Amino acid sequence: MKFLFIVQGEGRGHLTQALTLEEHLLREGHEVVEVLVGKSRNRELPTFFRQKLKAPLSRFESPNFLPTPANRKNNLTGSILYNIVRLPAFSRSILFIRQRIKASGADIVVNFYELLTGLTYLFCRPETRQICIGHQYLFLHKDFRFPRVNRTQLGLLKMFTRLTAIGSDRMLALSFSRMADDKKQRIYVVPPLLRKEVLQQTVSEGRYIHGYMVNSGFSSQVMAWHKAYPHIPLRFFWDRKNETEVCHIDDTLSFYPLDDHAFLKQMSGCRAYASTAGFESICEAIYMGKPVLMVPAHIEQECNAYDAMCAGAGIISTSFSLDRLLEFSSTFHPNRTFIFWAHNVNLLIEHLIREPEPTPQSLYTEKILQLFRRYKPVFYKYLNT
């Protein structure tokens, strides 16, 4: 079968998931004809993704979250206003996605949580089947447990997630642990997509703390903690634009640009791991038996962190209080059942290539379509801007 990938370009997680799925599909004799990745002014596409991807790569303008001035949390209000201003560019991206779907000859479009894919299927109605993959689809599962969070923000997160999945015949929800499928919602629970490099790492326990910050503004917290505990080695990766070299602050603190090989090597030999609660790297830490400190930067990561805590991965904090992580690591017991779950990737492949099941159009999608029909002239005005 021929597959076209459309990938949200924010952070490292969706990109590594796309690389992993490409590996599995090629091994099974399938073909990935093209990969489309969203881009924005605030993010650079990591070099490791360009180097490891086998399929042709294309980019398109895509909505993204803007960080606060301190570059830590995401600025929700600013992000909404910025993305509204960018609507004409996003309209052109929808037309581009439609054209690439048609020209690719793909049998299936795999959507890695990209909003414009759902909007393309809403406005342009491509005939090619679409299947969504991402841990965020668990947020729509009837049995998913949420932390105590702002209900308005949670509602917006769920709405955003539904919008990404418009036109899909199923959603494959990546999960830390087994759960029953929610077939009424067309949600099928599958293990995380861990790359073979993760499975092949030789794991040891070193002295240093390993970390990853999706927003580089958290580096000030790390440096403040380092001043209080200068004897403890820290090796942190950050998603900082235009940073290509390792930044050595001193003998025991370094900040690394995103590099997948170096990241996994540092993970395999660390004492513990601290992160802004991205799903993919937490899965890698659980697989390698590393205790985790999670510092959520937005509501999606708050839900991830709570789910990971329930799975025994680690603890949650509002800041990079690494002394708490060290205290937790002294009593930490790895979740060995996760390893067996992670090796069931064939379950995901089976759901991916299985024939679609006839499902009634959801009330939510019908309301979206009604809204579109009402404002259709406005949308086409943007297309021609």
* Phi (first) and psi of residue 141, to 5 degrees: -75, 140
E strand map for 31-163? 31-39, 57-61, 66-67, 74-75, 108-112, 129-134
The DSSP secondary-structure symbol of 70 reads: T
Would you state the pLDDT for residue 71? 40
Q: Are residues 149 and 262 in the same domain?
A: no
Would you state the pLDDT for residue 355? 84
Q: Are residues 248 and 368 in the same domain?
A: no
Q: Are residues 135 and 238 in the same domain?
A: no
Distance CA 177, CA 189 (A): 9
Would you state the pLDDT for residue 46? 83
Q: Are residues 258 and 367 in the same domain?
A: no
The alpha carbon dihedral of 26, 49, 33, 108 has a sign of: positive
Q: Are residues 303 and 179 in the same domain?
A: no
E strand map for 53-128? 57-61, 66-67, 74-75, 108-112
Q: Are residues 116 and 136 in the same domain?
A: yes
Q: Are residues 254 and 357 in the same domain?
A: no
Domain residue limits at 105: 2-195+344-383
Are residues 317 and 308 in contact, defined by beta-carbon separation less than 8 angstroms?
A: no
Q: Are residues 366 and 315 in the same domain?
A: no
DSSP helix/strand/coil, 168 = coil
Total residues belonging to the chain = 385
Strands 57-61 and 31-39: parallel
Angle at the Cα of 343 from the Cα atoms of 136 and 145, rounded to 5 degrees: 30
Are residues 42 and 241 in contact, defined by beta-carbon separation less than 8 angstroms?
A: yes
Would you state the pLDDT for residue 383? 52
Q: Are residues 224 and 152 in the same domain?
A: no
The DSSP secondary-structure symbol of 333 reads: -
Q: Are residues 249 and 372 in the same domain?
A: no
Per-residue pLDDT of the chain (385 residues; tens, 9 = 90+): 999 999 998 767 899 999 999 999 999 999 999 999 998 776 678 888 999 999 999 999 988 764 444 444 555 555 556 666 677 778 999 999 999 999 999 999 999 999 999 999 999 999 999 999 999 999 999 999 999 988 988 998 899 899 999 999 999 999 999 999 999 999 999 999 999 999 999 999 999 999 998 766 788 899 999 999 999 999 999 877 667 789 999 999 999 988 888 999 999 999 999 998 789 999 999 999 999 999 998 888 899 999 999 999 999 999 999 999 999 999 999 999 999 999 999 999 999 998 876 655 554 555 566 665 565 565 555 555 5
Are residues 8 and 124 in contact, defined by beta-carbon separation less than 8 angstroms?
A: no
State the Cα torsion 311-316-320-321 to the nearest 10°: -110
User: How is residue 297 written in tokens?
Assistant: 């930067």
Q: Are residues 38 and 173 in the same domain?
A: yes
CATH code at 330? 3.40.50.2000
Would you state the pLDDT for residue 239? 75
Q: Are residues 369 and 304 in the same domain?
A: no
Distance CA 149, CA 79 (A): 20
Would you state the pLDDT for residue 67? 47
Tally the domains of the chain. 2
